[in-house]
Amino acid sequence: MSPSTVKRTVTTALCISAAIIGYATASIAGEDASPSAEHKVDIRDFLYNPDSIKVKVGDTVTWTNHDIVPHTATLSASDVGTGPILLSNEGSLEMQASGTLTYHCRYHPEMQGEILVE
């Protein structure tokens, strides 16, 4: 075999191997991975709507503020939150662990909501 034939044969073998490994990896990942979803919560008239939602680990919750004053969505147990959300703006959090999370507005503590993360 000439050197160019050997090189072509090795290159072809490597490409086929990479394709097989990529397909196997995609198949395995496809079986275990479920697509994440985005859930919307409106903030209007100093209320979260809906005030209780059910999501899965990895999903994102996005709050949209329709009030003229800023609001937040701050997790009560950890103080992690969206930061200030101004009129017509959004803030999001990705749910990273299962459990029931309560949240509130840092500026208006009477505003409260709940997220059930499965």
Architecture of the domain made up of 38-117: Sandwich (2.60)
Delimit the domains of the chain by residue range. Answer: 1-33, 38-117
- pTM of the prediction? 0.72
Report pLDDT digits (tens) over 75-116: 999 989 999 999 999 999 999 999 999 999 999 999 999 999
Report pLDDT digits (tens) over 26-80: 333 444 457 899 999 999 999 999 999 999 999 999 999 999 999 999 999 998 9
Q: Indicate the length of the chain as a whole number.
A: 118
> Which residues share a beta bridge with 45?
none
